[in-house]
Structure formats: structure tokens, C-alpha cells
Amino acid sequence: MDKTFYITTPIYYPSARPHMGHAYSSIIADFFARFKNIDGHKVHFLTGTDEHGLKVQRAAEKNGQDTQKFCDQISKTFQDLSKTLNLSNTDFIRTTEERHKKSVQHLWNELEKNDDIYLSNYSGWYSVSDEAFYNEDEIDEIDGKKVAKSSRSSVEWIEEESYFFRLSKWEKPLLEYYKSNPDFIAPESRKNEVISFVKSGLKDLSISRKTFSWGIPVPNNEKHVIYVWLDALTNYLSALEYPDKDHELFKKFWPASIHLIGKDIIRFHAVYWPAFLLAAKIDLPKKIYGHGWILSGEEKMSKSKGNILDPLKIVEKYGLDPLRYYLIKEVSFGNDGNISQERLEDCINSDLANNYGNLCQRVVAFAIKNCKGKVPNEIKFQDEDFIILNKFKDNLENIRSKIDQQNINFYIDYIVNSLFEANKYFNDQEPWKKKDNLIRLNTIVYTTLEIVRKISFLLYPIIPESSLKALKIFNISENEINLSSIENNEYLLKDNNINKIDILFNKIEKNND
């Protein structure tokens, strides 16, 4: 049977243009998707836009635009961003699509059928910015204004007729589920936070609104629209053609391998979503991973704070792969991370230009000059060659298991160390002094080329475009990248041509004044 992997990003509100926080979630998801892809999995990678609710409706009103047209426009900028970031997503879902509406209404009916929904009245605090209901004890007052303690976003009092989901009923089953599935919520700190929230007692959840209309109508009561989070979370199912459980996509990819999200939306994903699914008797996703925030000057990057680093501008200035590499490397995954252009430039110079780019250029230039531009044929490995070559195969199982624990930092450290060792190997072996011992010279070149190939494979999930450029040295194309060749310890074919390649990364001139 095929190994499958289904990964999702949060679906983004098209209330404003995309920023670095969105780019971050998407790039990380792409990293996992590409890794699993070259590791022999059939991958389904979903991203999209979350278009209903008051937040989006008000943003459209503020712009004096028809809501659907406004969504079309901004959703397009997210679709464009997916291309700019070179995401390998296999689908892009919009919650205003018919396939999604059908799915959400079906889920609603299931919940209703199982007696998990009842009609009553809601009165309490609501944050439009978070699209979340808050209890009194979750509210603070700042300068006479009521805000949510967790997000600092302002809240408004609402009182209206509303349908409720019997969330309280699922308190115990959820706690039991967390206990018997210790990997369900990650990292550990988020899991503890969720468990203590659930233990503190769950109240039934308001799941419809009556005072605005931008949403999916409640089946059989069109005066209500479905709460935007119940609507949005269902995207993970609707993209697999739920409720058609016999559909190939659903059969193949549900339950999802991982929902990758930001830590600010952990409660929706790790409490509400599993409760809805338990109530509808649908399997739960295998993992919810809540990553940290990208900070700029110690604060969460957000539109309202005006401290946004625009991913498009960064890509324009430095190129895409440096940004991908930097975000993946710099932020200790799971924690918040501060980013700056200064550190990005350092990273380009040291890791990408000096370490990887330089290794590729040096060995290719040397091989063209001294090995007739071909992968050397007459070679004889010594211990030091085997040691450096076999490391990749020997570490592969460990790398795989670290990836399954979302330990991205291990992965990137492994690559940086391997690059460092490879440069050191080439320097220490001094092939330029071996012109009277061609077999040794050839062997050093062969070994270094083989390492470039292997490292480029491992770099592919992080910097796909540059890794492909480097693999042009050997005429290796994208569909030939696979980790099984490392597992099987396959080596480069001898006598094949070696191609010159363009500089992979330009060094950034730094002004040290």
C-alpha cells in the first residue's frame, strides 16, 4: 500500500494582504510536504482562505466593496503568494466554494442528528478580530476598553439567539483522548496548555450567528449563519470530498497526518475540532502542531501593530530560497522567533554562499579542470571516504524519526554540519596536490561530488529551487530526487558529464560602518 501524508496549513483570512506570519506557516508546511514526497509518500498538501464571518465582512465594508468580490481579490493574493513561495500544495480551498458549503452543512446535520446541537440564547463577549467568544475571566480592561487577555484584541458584547454545540459533553472524552494519544497535540507546552484549559471545564459553544449574513446558512433555519470556526475547520474534510467517505481522496488521506497551525489558534484545533469530529463519529487527525510566532522587535508581527516584514519585498530583494532557509533555520521550531534583515543577510553569506554554494562551485570547477568534466571512473575508496559517505545512510532513520517529531532544527543542523564536514574533507584531502596520484585525486572528487548530490537531496525540502540548480551538475531532475537512493547507498554513475552551474547565492555586501 502507498504511504500517504496529508498536511494542512491554517486557511488564512482574506481580510488583509498576506504577511510574514502567513508565509511562515506555509513554508514550514511545504518543507514537511516536500520531505515526505521525496521519502516515498503520496502527499496531499492543503492551504487556502477562510472567507466567511464578521471579520471579513467588515473588512470588505471598510473598503467599500462587495464582500464576495473583496474575497476574490484578496484570496487571489494568497494564491499568488503560494506560487511566490514555491509551495507544492496539491489543493487550495476557499470556504466560499460550493464543495465546502455542502460539506459544512452535512457536518452540521450530523451533529444535529446525534443530538449535539440545540437552540438557545447567547450573551457574552466576542472578538471579531479573533472570531472568538470569551468568558468574563478572559477579559481585561485597558484604557476603558474591553480586550481579550490572550490576544489583546478588542471585544464587543453580543446578545442573540444562537445554536449551541454540546461541548461540555465532550470534556471527559477529550481528556481521555489526549491521554491515550500523547502525540496528538505538540509541542508539549501547547499540550499542557490545552489539557489545563479543558480540565478547567468546558461550556457549550455558540455555533451560529443571527445578526449578520456573511456565512453558510444553518440547514433548515436560514436566519442563522454557521459560526465561522465550525465552517473553517471543516475545510480539512471538504477538500477530501467529505461527506463522500468512499471518495478516493477521503479514503487515502483521512485522517490528516498533521494540521500545522500557529499557537494562537490551538484551542480551536485541539479542543473544538476534535469535539466536533468525535460528535460526528469521524476519525481525528493524527497531530495538531502549534508553532510559535514570528516576532519583529520582540512583538508578534501583525497588521494592527504595524511591524510587518513583507514577504514579497524580502523575496524581491534576496530571492525566495534565502527567505525559506532563514525562516526554517532561525526560528527554533515550536517557539517564537525574532527575525531581522541583518540576520537574514548573515545567514545568506555564511550558510548559503560560503558553505553550500562554495562547495558546489569548488568541486565542479576542479572536476572540469582535472577530471575532463566527467564523474571520475577510476577510483579507490579509503576509510576516510567511506566514513563521510556512509554517514548519510547511517543517519537516515534518525532523520526520519526526527522529522516525525517535527524536529526541524535537528534536520537543518545536520545539514549545516554535513556541509561543514564536506568542505573540511575537500580542504584536508588537498586534491590539487594529488596530480601525480590520479586515482586518489579522482576518488576525492568523486566523494565530494557524491556528497553534494546527497546534501542537495536533503536541502530540497528547504530550498527546492537552489537544490535543483545544484543538481543540474549531474543532470538530475526533480522527479529523480528520492531518499531511497540514500537508503540504498546508491552512488553517482561514473563517466557522466558534469555541468557548470551558475552561482547559487550571491554574497551580500555588508556595510560595517
In the complex, the residues that contact ligand MSP under the rule CB under 6 A are: 10-13, 21-22, 24-25, 50, 232-233, 235, 261-262, 264-265, 293-294, 300-302
Closest separation between CB of residue 147 and ligand MSP, Å? 17
Largest interatomic CA distance in the chain: 89
SS (H, E, C) 23-82: HHHHHHHHHHHHHHHHCCEEEEEEEEECCCCHHHHHHHHHCCCCHHHHHHHHHHHHHHHH
Q: Is 64 left (phi over 0), alpha (psi -120 to 50) or beta?
A: left
Q: What number of residues does the chain have? A: 513
Residue placing its CB nearer to ligand MSP in the complex, 301 or 445: 301
Q: Give the residue among 504, 456, 497, 500 at the shortest CA–CA distance from 478.
A: 456
Q: Name the strands in the sheet holding 41-49, side by side, starting at the edge strand that comes first in the sequence.
A: 91-94, 41-49, 3-8, 258-262, 288-291, 185-186
Which is nearer to ligand MSP, 309 or 451 (by Cβ)?
Answer: 309
For cell 560560503, name the residue: 354
Minimum distance between the CB of residue 73 and ligand MSP, rounded to whole angstroms?
16
Compute the C-alpha angle 177/406/176, nearest 5°: 5
Minimum CB separation of residue 502 from ligand MSP in Å reads 33
**CB 294 to ligand MSP: min, Å:** 4
- Name the residue with the smallest CB distance to ligand MSP: 262
Cα of first residue to Cα of last residue in the chain, in angstroms, is 60
211 three-class SS: coil
289 or 426: whose CB is closer to ligand MSP? 289
Spatial distance between the Cα atoms of 241 and 246, rounded to a whole number of angstroms: 9
For ligand MSP, give the closer residue by CB, 87 or 360.
87
27: cell is: 513554508
CB of 23 to ligand MSP, least distance (A): 9
How near is the Cβ of 290 to ligand MSP at its closest, in Å?
8
CB of 12 to ligand MSP, least distance (A): 4
Of 239 and 483, the one with the shorter C-beta distance to ligand MSP is: 239
Output Rg (C-alpha) for the chain, integer angstroms: 26
Rank residues 6 and 474 by Cβ distance to ligand MSP and give the closer one: 6
d(CA 8, CA 240): 12
Q: How far is the CB of 461 from ligand MSP (least distance, A)?
A: 19
Can you spell out the DSSP letters for 331-370?
A: S-TTS-EE--HHHHHHHIIIIIIIIIIHHHHHHHHHHHHH
Q: Which is nearer to ligand MSP, 186 or 458 (CB)?
A: 186
Of 22 and 224, the one with the shorter C-beta distance to ligand MSP is 22
264 vs 345 by CB, closer to ligand MSP: 264
Least distance from C-beta 54 to ligand MSP, angstroms? 13
* C-alpha–C-alpha distance, residues 191 and 169, integer Å: 20
Q: Which three cell numbers stand for residue 94?
A: 476557499
According to DSSP, the residues that pair with 145 across neighbouring strands are 142
